[in-house]
A and B are shown apart, each in its own frame.
Chain A
Amino acid sequence: MKQLVLSVENLSFQYLGQPNEAVRNVTFHVYKGDWVAIVGHNGSGKSTVAKLLIGLLKPKHGEIRLFDTVLNEATVWQLRRRMGIVFQNPDNQFVGTTVQDDVAFALENNGIPREEMVERVQAAIRQVGMEAFLLKEPHHLSGGQKQRVALAGILALRPDLIILDEATSMLDPKGKQEVLEALIDLRKKQQMTILSITHDLEEAVQADKIIVMNEGEIVANGTPSDVFSLGEKLAEFRLDLPFVMKIKKELQQTGIPLSVHSATIEELVDELWTLYLNK
């Protein structure tokens, strides 16, 4: 049994002056080394969940727990030290004047001694492959590079959980790919636990588990292939199927007997050539 990292129980939240709850009875668990994606269209409540998780908003009901620590006013700073979040806009979260200053920012805030800080900054920058840019200023970096620096800033804290709040949605395809590769690499080499909040199902394909949110509630929950096999229902939640799934659907319509389980390009290609050989 894997260790439970984050548990969210019956979480509800209502913005002041809004008739409906933005988040309603949301319950989910994230285990160590897992990559969980929360998907949903704009206004589905997924970004509110992110703000609740790092204590920027206070829940109406429910409980958020990181390992054994319950999130409340007394523990919020301690928990922020143990989970990091990358936001959407690459420019508006770059605090330092250079790459290394920005990566050191969270460490400075937490009073880490300087010798240890230098070591951790170097290591974190290496982890995201930005060591050639140590002294560069933010306006000399691309969006994808800035997001990798933001990621390094969090890695330097050695967190238990990384939260990505639409971290790739403002990037061009190349930048998106860079950030995703950095994340995949992190998970492979260090069993990092990742919670990514996104409306991009292509990104969600990378996850072990997908949680679909609509109108503040969890409407589907499972592995990518489980979720993608919902097909038409996803369109109801205003989510666009990833390219692989679209192709698969077209192929199935032309009468090729494909299983419901393949979710990635590799799986689909494997299935296709096996089918061809067996014919």
Chain B
Amino acid sequence: MNVIIGRYVPSNSVIHRMDPRAKLLAMFIYAASVFFANNGVTYAMLTAFLFILLLLLRVPFSFILKGLRPVLWIVLFTFLLHAFLTKEGATLYQIGELAIYEGGLQKGVFISLRFLLLIAMTTWLTISTTPVEVTDAVESIFGPLKRFRVPVHELALMMSISLRFIPTLMEETEKMIKAQAARGVDFYGGPFGERIKAMTALLIPLFIHAFKRAEELAIAMEARGYRGGEGRTKYRLLTWGSIDTWLLASTVGVTILLLLFRA
């Protein structure tokens, strides 16, 4: 649960109050521009920009580090891979057969940094934006695709209903584990094959319940007049302020500078 929704950290910072569309677009532009950086200056620019954005979050730095932790191993692994396998420039260290070259070290640092910047930027978005806001933003940004018969509204509604039911289903799973354990099912002990079998005693009732829920929910939605996206109004309002334009403009600005300074 913590992985999916627990990342949002409530706060009243400038970033938190921004339009989720602006944040989502800024994230996309930033993520794309990260791939164009190829020298020290450009990476420094991207890092500095992200650092400012993270500072504006007004959230303890430990929360941001928590978001980065799961990928640290991958970052370290790619760093070592590049450091040892790229054979460019002067030799820095020589340990027996293995040698580290200047080019390899540089490439390793850049690639790891690229990873970290991407993850930190998505963390910046998820810390400051609730999943529902992200859904609204997606629906609004991709809205024009409705003309090409892309079911944007339906997809967004599916997303928001799934988000709403995650805690409900988690609760039900917990209850089911206890109920089946009380009947003698052992989920944690025994050989691997046995444990897999035990899982069916959990998954089958869980799926049956989920389908029943879906059916009842569909009936309830219809009874409350749901007939698809046509002619629907929206309660949640997205408001685009000057601060949102500023965010987008500065992101685009950084991208342009980056394109000018790249090697």
Contact = CB atoms under 8 A, between A and B. Distances in A.
Interface of A: 54, 56, 77, 80-81, 84-85, 87, 89, 91-98, 100-101, 104-114, 117-118, 121, 137-139, 153-154
Chain A at the B interface: SS class: helix
Contacts of A100: 235
Interface stretch (B40-48, B73-81, B82-90, B224-232): B224-232
Contacts of B167: 137-139
Contacts of B122: none
Contacts, number: 86
Contacts of B27: none
A85 B167 CA distance: 25
A137 to B, nearest CB: 7
Given A91-B168, A114-B234, A114-B237, A80 B216 contact: no
Interface in B156-184: 160-161, 163-164, 167-168, 171
B236 interface: yes
A77 B225 contact: yes
B220 interface: yes
A153 B233 contact: no
Chain B at the A interface: SS class: helix
Nearest to A109: B225
A117 B235 contact: yes
Contacts of A96: 164
A56 B216 contact: no
Given A93-B217, A95-B161, A137-B167, A85 B223 contact: yes
A139 B233 contact: no
B132 A89 contact: no
Interface string B201-223: 00000000000010011011111
Contacts of A94: 164
B17 to A, nearest CB: 15
Given A87-B219, A96-B164, A106 B225 contact: yes
16 contacts: A77-B227, A87-B220, A89-B213, A91-B213, A92-B213, A92-B220, A95-B217, A97-B160, A97-B164, A104-B235, A109-B225, A110-B225, A114-B235, A118-B235, A137-B164, A138-B167
Contacts of A84: 223-224
Contact of A80 (B164, B223, B232): B223
B216 A87 contact: yes
**Best-buried of B132, B168, B223 by chain A (most CB within 10 Å):** B223
Given A87-B216, A95-B161, A101 B223 contact: no
A108 B171 contact: no
Given A96-B164, A139-B167, A81 B233 contact: no
Residues of B in contact with A, size category: 20 to 34
B232 A111 contact: yes
Contacts of A108: 232-235
8 smallest CB-CB distances across A and B, nearest first, come from A104-B235, A93-B220, A92-B216, A139-B167, A109-B225, A106-B224, A111-B231, A97-B164
A237 B213 CA distance: 30
A96 B163 CA distance: 10
B233 A80 contact: no
A105 B220 CA distance: 11
Interface in B225-262: 225-227, 231-237
Given A56-B222, A97-B163, A113-B233, 17 more contacts: A80-B224, A80-B225, A85-B223, A87-B219, A87-B220, A89-B213, A93-B220, A97-B132, A106-B225, A108-B234, A108-B235, A109-B226, A117-B235, A121-B235, A138-B164, A139-B167, A154-B224
A110 B234 CA distance: 10
Contacts of A111: 231-233
A96 B165 CA distance: 10
Contacts of B220: 87, 92-93, 95
Contacts of A89: 213, 216
Contacts of B227: 77, 109
